[in-house]
Structure 1
Amino acid sequence: MISRIDLRGNPGDPRDLLPRAEFDVEAALEKVRPICDDVRHRGVEALIELTERFDGVRLTDVRVPREAVDSALAGLDPAVRAALEESIRRARLVHRDQRREDVTTRVVPGGTVTERWVPVDRVGLYVPGGRAVYPSSVVMNVVPAQEAGVASLAVASPPQADFGGLPHPTILAACALLGVEEVYAVGGAQAVAMFAYGAGECDRANLVTGPGNIWVAAAKRLLKGVIGIDSEAGPTEIMVLADGTADPGHVAADLISQAEHDVVAASVLVTASEGLAAAVEAELGKRVAATRHSERVAEALGGRQSGIVLVDDLEQGLDVVNAYGAEHLEVMTADARGVADRVRNAGAVFLGAFAPVSLGDYCAGSNHVLPTGGCACHSSGLSVQTFLRGIHIVDYDRAALAGVARHVVALAEAEDLPAHGEAVTARIPREEQA
């Protein structure tokens, strides 16, 4: 069901040997380009036609009526409402503490530089639809944007034929709980283009965030520069670094939980314990058949992107973990905290037996919009910081400029940009420079 990769005795760079899903965004670019151009030039008319083509739904408008959002909340299962409210509460606690404070540095007497943190003016938040419903992604997108102080935000999610061409009602209900009134029944690349160029009631946004399929990722890549993006999210991943103290049932359950997302989801166990590897394989044999989406899970676990990686010891295991840069990393070892402190590359790290990835998906307070495809080696997950920009404010008086003028002039001349120096000497003649 799941393959083994034996790296024991192989001290080299493991990156080319580790399992990874194929996700060719570049190949998808040319397919999304005409879609984005169509939305740019024809706006809502194009969105309606594209929605009918790709989602099988004929709309008269893409804006979700306010009454539909309110109705979805009124009809929400009380248990789901309570869970969403708790998820929102915990996410606010964590994200509120991420807000950056303005800092002023006194460089010299009379000369300061202030870094001022300013939220983007408007964001478009994408919530995927398809095999699963993701109201949790509404929470993970909206809460950090709100805590950052973003004044204008809109949510887009694919229309569902089963719900009259509206996004899934649980997604709409989550929007209502968060006070989001601007919601669009638009999915895929066309949703990113709508945010980038504006269409109908949807004004242009400065930034678009949220996970999606390959077409969403390709549109983000294509339109980056027209609009800011958080990341190009690829297939979801879990890596578990475990030793012989780990419970094989817990490990197997967590590998299955991530495989449940998609047939290209990646589930990887890294261990030096052959006994644990065998026990996890046995647990998978029992548990996969019993889970609701067993066919999807089995295909994901059997794919090239999943596997059990055998290593010599914990040191090599950490090398593998840092080379892979997993979206989600679980550390199930005797000293989970100590091991986790040595992890450099991961979107989020979950410690020990009682912090499964699914906790982070919903109610840990952390964000579940995380870098995939090894991007954790250079990128972070969604946070308040995603929605903020640092602006430097330079404030020098005459004496402070005079004190450094000769250095500015010297560097300007060294770079053969004499007018740069003249902008200083126009204020501080050379004879007055310190």
Structure 2
Amino acid sequence: MSATRKKLSGAQNRKRASHRIDEEAQSAAKMRRWLRESAASLAPSDSDIQNATTATERSDDGEESLSPVLCQEQDDDTQLATSDLPQSASQQEGEIIDLMDPGAWPDTEKMTDMQRSFLSNQAVLLNDKHPNNIEFKFTERNGRRLTYSMWFRTMTNKENIKRTWLVYSKTKNSIYCFACKLYSNVFTPLSALRSVGFINWKKASERLAEHEASQAHKECVIKWKTRLQQIKSCQGIDRDVELLIQSEKEKWRQILHVVMDAVMYLATNCLSFRGSKETINDLTINYPQPNQGNFLNLIILLAKHNPTLKLHLDHLQKGQVSYLSKTVQNEIIQLLACNVRNTIIDEIKGANYFTIMFDCTPDIAHNEQMSQVFQYVKITGSECEIKESFIDFVQVGGKTGEYITQQI
């Protein structure tokens, strides 16, 4: 009998790579559909800027959903709604730019100043997630792969400094210096880090050190930092536009905070959300109605004490972005559930003593599902507490002891 294979076969690697490419294509298609629908409302006029800063996505059934960028709490210099991208920045000769892929960004010579300003902020968001969001095992090329340490430079005093200019492209499996990609000129020496992407992992550490020590790279970094400071303080030539965008961002942050508080209140108290009649016109009244449901009635109540939300409801029209649809409610509930689950899992990982309990019970559709419950000891200072937490339901296809053991 042959020994257990420790390394995946070529067919398995190809299958995994094909699956990964399909997922990336679906993500890119979703981004393209999102930008196409929001690009029509993007123009330099004051009225269009208000629409440009509402980062929402319409699904196939017409329901709005939250933008993942707006769900993050970032600093003012890095927080940027994806739909703030001007039309000239989101379209290049009829093609939609994939904002999450630096390899798909236009060349420096073809890039407009408006595109450069937007992508400067986008690159900061990408670098903040690197290298924690990179699956290094999928970056293998010629027997070598990217490593976590490539994003850090060791100084002479042994201090590790993160390379804030380094980003990774999934589709091209290469790394870029986005400062040089955005701000280099025709006189800048040609480098793979700014043009086609660097892919020689064997020489990566050596080439990265040489690149960041070059004069051309230092000049590009200075231009990038200067531009970010101008955007943050609204000191550029597009000062009025930046001020309007910042005010719109603040408005939507306040509205989203109220919506999330309403969702958390109803979910915490195990109250129903929806009613029998939910239309935009019903939200313009100043008193709640029984058939609107708890969520919309609570929003109307909170609007009496929140001028921003009240102004939003008073000017709300049919088809306009509201963040009040059932799709947004479900998405917020899912985000909150993931956060609670991760918190519980972190507590379990930090516990010295814990036990697991699994129980199979059919649901109302007669599908067998197994509940996951952990009982663990949480030690806080000198206090000791025994906690019992439910994690999730798992669909199972059998009830035998062997099958359940395999599932656990």
Check whether TM > 0.5: no
What TM bracket, shorter-length normalisation? under 0.3
Give TM-score scaled by structure 1 length.
0.22
Give TM-score scaled by structure 2 length.
0.23
